[in-house]
Amino acid sequence: MTLEVKDVDAYYGSVKVLEGVDFSAAHGEFLGVIGPNGSGKTTLLRTISRILKPKVGTILLKGRDVMAMKDKEFSRNFAAVPQDTTVNFDFAALDIVLMGRNPHLGRLELETEKDIEIARRCMELTNCWHLAERPITELSGGERQLVIIARALTQEPKALLLDEPTSHLDINYQIEIMELLKRLTVHEGLIVIAVIHDLNLAAQYCDRLVLLRRGKIVSMGSQQGVLTAENIKNTFGANVIVKTHALTNLCYVSPVPSPVKRQTGASSKDNADITIHLICGGGEGASLMHSLSEKGYKVTAGVVNMLDTDCEVAQLLNVPVVAEAPFSPITDETFQAHLARIERADVVVLCGIPFGFGNLKNMDAAEVALGRMGKSVLVLEADGIAERDFTDGEVTKRFIALKNKGAVMVKNQGEVLKVLLSQSLSRKSLLPPLSL
């Protein structure tokens, strides 16, 4: 059983809304449709469900043109859950679900025990059987959504179409519904096509994704192939970081807000003359990079590996960075470039990075900054260095030496900002050594 959408163009009047849309969904597949507002996602579902007839192209289910199917036959193969599931009449939830049996009943035929049993099974599947006697108008949004999905399943369709099934729902219902849809594909063999606005939910549960922009498919395939920072930037206009979750091995999307425009007050003007250099990596400097930029400081960073989170955030925030090749140790050439960047900074912050022999030169840089260059150095999360020391204790000893030579030990990002704000800074006279 395969659903094929072949080179479909769709119009509202004279306005083309879909152009050349071409994809297929197989038996037991969960296909997510994503894209910005106005990209044609809902129109695509309306076209598949025959509410809107394609002007060009065909839609086939198991090789048959769905437009040629009689209404009852179509309704036995397709069921749809709209975005707005509001019901204004005071029917019991079970009565609403039983409406899904209409395609299987003859004219004026009433539901049988078999129909009621099918409705019950679908309500149990969607965890809403306990709501059977409750009026639909008294249910919460999440409860009502489960009932409407149960009604669609009662049609016993081959393909289930859903338009933003988790919108406006609490996270518990979002997870419950997405888990349900996944089970339906795995255990019931349904073809599920859902418009999903939450990219992380789509990545977590969908087998494949279709990314729409202005009515055209711009990317289609696995979550890793579709949900790239470049695709999301080009399609949504949003700066994001896409990473692989350590537990699930699935990708997740994190937005990166742009720095707030600098205020024109005296303190912000003073901050604009101060350069803070972050010795970071592995994402340990990303948040502080953003906070300092918001406060009006000039920020630089290094040495980080290309494709590292800190490197990506620096690029998004226009923060100058000294970078090394991915998964490579810091070379002498890069180390010298790092020292040159530190030389131009007023304050150096050593972030809570893990240390191995590959990035040990970042510790060298902090020592040079404090010693030979005479820079003010703040050391973040020094208390936890033993857990981040993968150099057989060498870095731990050098942290203690940094403290004894006057580096400022701070517990968290908030303390970094407090230290900076509490000092009267200038390019010539900066933080004196102090301890909190």
Per-residue pLDDT of the chain in tens (436 residues, 90 and over written 9): 899 999 999 999 999 999 999 999 999 999 999 999 989 999 999 999 999 999 999 999 999 999 999 999 999 999 999 888 778 888 999 999 999 999 988 887 788 999 999 999 999 989 999 999 999 999 988 899 999 999 999 999 999 999 999 877 888 888 999 999 999 999 989 999 999 999 999 999 999 999 999 999 999 999 999 999 899 999 998 888 888 776 778 888 877 765 545 444 444 556 778 899 999 988 888 889 888 988 888 999 989 988 788 888 888 888 999 988 877 889 999 999 999 999 999 999 999 888 888 889 999 999 999 999 999 999 988 778 888 888 888 989 999 999 999 899 998 888 888 888 776 444 444 444 444 4
Strand order of the β-sheet with 376-380 is: 321-324, 298-305, 275-279, 347-350, 376-380, 408-410
Looking at residue 268, what is its pLDDT?
A: 52
CA distance 338 to 341: 5
Range list for CATH 3.40.50.720 in the chain: 266-422
Amino acid (1-letter code) at residue 193: I
Q: How many CB atoms lie within 10 A of CB 94?
A: 20
**What residue ranges of the chain are covered by domains with CATH 3.40.50.300?**
2-255
Residue among 259, 299, 256 nearest 280 (CA): 299
pLDDT at 415: 87
pLDDT for the residue 425: 45
Across 378-405, b (16+ Cβ under 10 Å) vs e yields bbbbbeebeebbebeeebbebbeebeee
Homologous superfamily in CATH for domain 266-422 = NAD(P)-binding Rossmann-like Domain (3.40.50.720)
| Token pair of 402 as six digits | 């940094």
Residue 429 has a pLDDT of 46
Work out the burial of residue 262: count CB atoms within 10 Å of its CB; fewer than 13 is exposed, 13-18 middle, 19 or more buried: middle
Please name the residue ranges forming H helices in 220-350: 223-226, 229-236, 266-271, 286-294, 309-316, 332-343
> How would CATH label the architecture of 2-255?
3-Layer(aba) Sandwich (3.40)
